[in-house]
A and B are shown apart, each in its own frame.
Chain A
């Protein structure tokens, strides 16, 4: 009897405890989500307000038909140019990273040859090195190559920086692919290049998406290398152009907020659509 009573009592406390605990955790999550989203919501709202409106009612819902600030950005600033530059630099870097990364990873993972382990180590050594600290020699190198004030300097650095993670992810993935297809094709007399291109590469696509996302966000967002390599306004990427733009409109807060909103918009939209791939891609280096 007494044991039964105490068990019931124990269960009831357990249930209440669970409810209380889950309630607390839910409150933590909701509070955190509000803190995470509030700055972004205020930013977007303020983009549609005049400066006095922002000062008087920072939380008020604006008239979303009021696009004066955006028109100003369109007409008076180099914003579209910066956006286009960011697309060019990011696109070219990603194309190079994925092409070169797949080549290296394929060679290391599919063929046995002397020094393969060493070559993989060579790539992985670049994984953790903070390249920012080598900015002085990089600056001199770009000067000697004659590509300071040229987007090639950015594309080359980003490609080199992206290769270690890409080779790491792709090598691991390509190693897991079965040999049968490859062997069958080889029996039929297909060349090595043909086997790689038409048989193996289509299978590698999922890993390329992960490697791509892991690299595309830091490259799109990078500010440090353009700061050092690019001076000419027409060549600036979006984060760098933003600093020019923020300096010019210091008192017009409506325009400032709409500039921030416009720069954040592309990546936020893509993130919302592909959040799952973004999360797994960006944490893939840290999650084994």
Chain B
């Protein structure tokens, strides 16, 4: 090998080794693990598709899987509206460069830099049924009848988590959309202004189609994020998705199955891996469909 070849090898091998050892190998191994029986940390017999069969069709796992999956779907669509929809509106407002736009931009992104753990605890304290600031304010305004144990009842718990997540992350789609809008050529906007006064036409026919690349990325990331959701429900609702599994999502369920929880210490790497593989394949398949579909409607300026 020449000196130059050695030099290139020396530059490339250490970073490649890190990615191979700590990303590629674990992901490949996760697929392999799912086809074996596990006894605690010991790998047992090859068991074919038995683990997959168990998590998908054998009770109680089957209904746990369905329950958690349904919640992930709800979270995805709710955040699509609350986070990405609101993000688009905020981006549009920021784009006008009205007085104070710089300050508003910094403010909307501030929660994004906070740890999910801090956000989770903060909202948990705010939503406390007796002493939380939300219910105290409602009672103070004479709206005490609306005050609820938001996190303590299954009808509102998941929605409380969704709102907390939207507060935390809305700045991200906002600024991605804003960057997309700022790339629209001014000539194009002037041309539209000559044609029509309608803001609605401008948004639906010009702005929205032209920020399509931003939308593709924001939608895909939200999808991957919603089906990987773990930290916020873990902090706000606990590992069991309390109350009564009404906030259980695939991330919690997978973790619980793999590593066990406080109430039942049993852990099962085989079932956990099968779940991981299913979630992984599902995310990869749908995310590529979303990307391809949305790419198709992107227009090159």
A134 within 8 A of B: yes
Residues of B close to A26: CB separation below 8 A: 93, 98-100
Question: Sorted from nearest, which 3 A-B pairs have the closest CB atoms?
Answer: A160-B22, A137-B29, A134-B26
A185 within 8 A of B: no
Smallest CB gap from B32: residue in A: A137
Residues of B close to A161: CB separation below 8 A: 22-23
Contacts A29-B101, A271-B113; is A156 near B18 (CB within 8 Å)? yes
Q: Which of A73-81, A200-208, A278-286 contacts B (4 or more CB under 8 A)?
A: A278-286
Q: Which residues of A from 240 to 274 have beta carbons under 8 Å from B?
A: 240, 242-243, 246, 253, 256-257, 260, 263-264, 267-268, 271-272
Alpha-carbon distance A73/B110, docked complex (angstroms): 25
Residues of B close to A30: CB separation below 8 A: 100, 104
Contacts A55-B131, A275-B106; is A136 near B98 (CB within 8 Å)? no
B-contact 0/1 string along A91-125, CB 8 Å cutoff: 00000100011011011100101000001001101
A1 within 8 A of B: no
Taking a contact as CB atoms under 8 Å apart, the answer to whether B121 and A256 are in contact is: yes
Taking a contact as CB atoms under 8 Å apart, the answer to whether A36 and B167 are in contact is: yes
B-contact 0/1 string along A26-41, CB 8 Å cutoff: 1011101101110110
Contacts A217-B113, A267-B114, A286-B217; is A104 near B11 (CB within 8 Å)? yes
A25 within 8 A of B: yes
User: Counting chain B CB atoms within 10 Å of each CB, which of A21, A36, A37, A240 scores highest?
Assistant: A36
Smallest CB gap from A141: residue in B: B26
Taking a contact as CB atoms under 8 Å apart, the answer to whether A220 and B15 are in contact is: no
Contacts A131-B26, A141-B26, A287-B179; is A136 near B11 (CB within 8 Å)? no
Residues of B close to A101: CB separation below 8 A: 15
Residues of B close to A14: CB separation below 8 A: 197
Smallest CB gap from B131: residue in A: A55
Q: Which residues of A from 129 to 160 have beta carbons under 8 Å from B?
A: 129-138, 140-141, 143, 156-157, 159-160
State how many residues of chain A have any CB contact under 8 Å with chain B.
Answer: 93
Chain A residues close to B by CB (< 8 Å): 10, 13-14, 17, 21-22, 25-26, 28-30, 32-33, 35-37, 39-40, 42-43, 54-55, 58-59, 96, 100-101, 103-104, 106-108, 111, 113, 119, 122-123, 125-126, 128-138, 140-141, 143, 156-157, 159-161, 163-164, 167, 192-193, 217, 220-221, 223-224, 228, 238-240, 242-243, 246, 253, 256-257, 260, 263-264, 267-268, 271-272, 275, 278-279, 282-283, 286-288
Residues of A close to B258: CB separation below 8 A: 135-136
Residues of A close to B99: CB separation below 8 A: 26
Taking a contact as CB atoms under 8 Å apart, the answer to whether A107 and B100 are in contact is: no
Residues of A close to B214: CB separation below 8 A: 286-287
Taking a contact as CB atoms under 8 Å apart, the answer to whether A58 and B137 are in contact is: yes
A-B contact pairs, 15 of them (CB 8 A): A26-B98, A30-B100, A36-B108, A39-B122, A40-B110, A135-B276, A137-B25, A167-B15, A192-B3, A192-B4, A228-B259, A267-B114, A268-B113, A286-B176, A286-B214
